[in-house]
Amino acid sequence: MRSINLKKNDFRRLSLENLEGRSLLAADFVPGELFVQYEPAVFSGIASISRAQNVKIVERRDVFGNDSLDVVKLSVSKDMDLLKVAQEYAKLPGVVSVDPNWITEKFAVSNDPGYSQGWLWGMYSDDSPAQFGGPLTGNVFGSGAEEAWGANITGSNQVVIAVLDSGVDINHEDLRQNIWVNPGEIPGNGKDDDKNGFIDDVNGWDFINNDNSVFDGISTDPHGTHVAGTLGAVGGNGIGVAGVAWNVKILPLRTLDSNGRGTADQASQAIEYLTKLKANQKVNIVAMNNSWGISRYEPRLHAAVINAANEGILCIAAAGNGLKSTNYLGTNNDVMNVYPASFSTLEPTIGTAPARYESVISVAAIDSVGELASFSNFGFESVDIAAPGVEILSTVPGNRYENAFWDVEEEGWAPWSGTSMAAPHVTGAVALYAAAKPDASPSTIREAILRSATPTTSLSGRTATGGRLSVMDAINYTAWPTVSVSSAQGLESVNGTAGWINFDVSISDELSESFSVNFATSNGTAIAGSDYGAASGTLTFRPGETTQRIRIELIDDNRAESNENFLIRLSDLSTASARLGSNPGVGTILNDDTPQLIVNDVTSSESAGTFQFTVSLTAVSQSRVTVRVATADGAAKSAKNADYTSFATTLTFNPGETSKTISVRIRNDRKAEQVERFFVNLSRATGVGILDSQGVGTIIDDDGKVARTSLAGLSLNSMSESDWDDLFDEKIKRRFAWLLLRS
């Protein structure tokens, strides 16, 4: 008898689990065919079930002769549930396995010269446990995209990715097949067939020139073409390079001109365009790639990103590169924001509520030896993950491929390096995930990309994940329910008695089982026994229960002191069906013995000439108080042809003083325009806390009907020479009106 290593019952169980544990896709097996492996004595039982199920026995095989296991091939009607039929046969004692006729196919390996000759390091993996490609195609710090290809995960033409950039060469030999075509437009008929307000937007739109040409020429649009190639150049076609996603639809939206310049308004319009395409025409836009950025906060742009998130569109954004003023060294985005990478869709903006989930993925760049690229911006709180971004080979206009370009101003060759090059690696991974798991929500995709990041020494403390992109790990990531504890705050006393802080402990999804989790407080700046009562214990959740509350008592005193905090940490989760999430929670004790600073809001017409803001203390201070006060732009700008005059100063309150008045000059123009806002921010207070850190100045236009074209945006004409000098030197100023994120 033929030797079998596994026990028959184990063999049957494993086989059925394999069958039940996956989605049965028609592309995976031959429809209507089952194979049953069994002990010869049970054939009569198989025949009986076949008659009862109206299943035809096509062939019976005695594979090894004598008393070895036999195999029978069955023909099942295509309108029958193959899995249920298989389960009936599996119930028979003596049946070892029941399986569909799985289709075998060779693994996808790129035959594109750029890949096989060792130039696409960003696509490579560590070749463990199996080697992919040839001997030149290994790099431990690559994205591992080749592993996904090896599992036949190469994308889908049902997944659409928008590329906001310079134009894309839609006729490039390695891109043409993957360019999106608007199903609602008839090319060249001069009509807006799909009624979206854009005539003949067959492949996208040019928001620079306001026309339907998404590619303006070889010399004008290399950046967008290079980005598109990394994201989605056709793979396996024997030419050029391979993108992370071989099969994807790229939607070009031209928002940068030939000099890498654009405006926040043009970017906002582009995002509004793609959001409406998904909302109204049901185009399956999964994500947008943004290899660009601006250094000023723009509420309308933020609102556009939030609205896109609400339609299920992820925002992948380059974290930004260092400028000449920083010797081209990357800076900390936690301190100096770059947008859209620094946006959060969980935060509201003027007139727009936050989204239900975080849609932004901010991407830094690493080199081929795993170091954070010297030019790459970073930020533990504001940059999420890193990806390959140094000397990246990709498509450029005119059926060409480059990993370096001639820099006219520097008069030398410069590599295609930058967070601009890193971002499309992540966007391509998003496209592959969406193709492999088409029912996944955008928040699930984002979670998989970030939680599967490979820990990398150079990124520890420099990105939120501390890791780099791992494409196949993201696709294989299992999203577990998470048990988290909230952060909270409370007053030191309430109505003359000691206060408290309530912490919510919650699980993201219901479990059908009970479980427990331990908690314990620990000191921060607040000290147990002096500022709050230490606590520890165990919470037990019943099946289906999702939230419990922990109440921590505070200790009231009469000391004037700064706000203090302590931690509450979860541990020892009892179930294997969930994981610990946000942890620890921070409890902030709001000291009510310390005066607090506040600033009022002001709303008036622009003809008022001056807005009077009052910075006040909630109580008399017995010591000297200082606070930094500075204006910040919203839709209202403080620049050439400005809406108001900016200022920054330090206010000093002597003992006994409780208020100071600040006057902000408002420019009265004759232009009909939207309501505009600016901000007065308080920071760096000494001796007191800040209860309200921002005053809002709302300028009401009194010049009549609002002009249709009066959209707030960042433009060259709206910036003064002093504004430019604060940001860039003369050479950079000539090259950038917007900060194009490329080296």
Residue labelled with tokens 């419990």: 548
Q: Reduce the secondary structure of 308-340 to three states and give it as a string.
A: HHHCCCEEEEECCECCHHHCCCCCECCCCCCEC
Indicate if 702 belongs to the active site. no
Structure tokens at 358: 């975080």
The C-alpha atoms of residue 458 and residue 386 are separated, in whole angstroms, by 10
Catalytic entry in 165, 200, 531, 643:
165
The distance from CA 234 to its chain's CA centroid, rounded to whole angstroms, is 24
Residue labelled with tokens 């005695």: 62
What sign results for the dihedral spanned by CA atoms 449, 455, 457, 461?
positive
Catalytic entry in 420, 493, 621, 743:
420
Nearest partner of 96 among 132, 114, 119, 72, judged by Cα = 72
Indicate if 621 belongs to the active site. no
Helix (H) and strand (E) counts for the chain? 13, 37
The C-alpha atoms of residue 500 and residue 9 are separated, in whole angstroms, by 58
Pairing of strands 360-366, 314-318: parallel
Helix 222-232 to helix 419-436 angle, to the nearest 10 degrees?
Answer: 40
Indicate if 420 belongs to the active site. yes
Nearest partner of 650 among 605, 686, 697, judged by Cα = 686
The C-alpha atoms of residue 145 and residue 429 are separated, in whole angstroms, by 8
- Please state the φ and ψ torsions of residue 308, each to the nearest 5 degrees: -65, -40
Spatial CB neighbours of 196, under 8 Å, sequence gap ≥ 6: 184, 273, 276, 277, 280, 281
DSSP string, 70-111: EEEEEE--TTS-HHHHHHHHHTSTTEEEEEEEEPP-PPP---
The C-alpha atoms of residue 307 and residue 270 are separated, in whole angstroms, by 12
Q: Which helix (H) or strand (E) holds 422?
A: helix 419-436
The C-alpha atoms of residue 2 and residue 222 are separated, in whole angstroms, by 64
Nearest partner of 466 among 382, 546, 384, 370, judged by Cα = 384
- Cis-peptide, bond into residue 129, ω within 30° of zero: yes
Catalytic entry in 143, 156, 221, 223:
223
- Using CA atoms, how far residue 606 sits from 39, 464, 610, in Å, is 91, 43, 8
Nearest partner of 165 among 374, 317, 302, 44, judged by Cα = 317
The distance from CA 699 to its chain's CA centroid, rounded to whole angstroms, is 34
- Using CA atoms, how far residue 74 sits from 13, 37, 68, 508, in Å, is 20, 11, 20, 44
The C-alpha atoms of residue 315 and residue 445 are separated, in whole angstroms, by 12
Structure tokens at 486: 């909230």
570 near 483, Cβ under 8 Å?
yes
Nearest partner of 517 among 491, 540, 497, judged by Cα = 540
355 near 374, Cβ under 8 Å?
no
Task: Go through 621-657 and write b for each residue having 16 or more CB atoms within 10 A of its CB, e for each that does not.
Answer: beeebebebebebbbbbbbeebbbebeeeebebeeee
Strand-pairing partners, residue 227, are: none
Which residues belong to the active site? 165, 223, 420
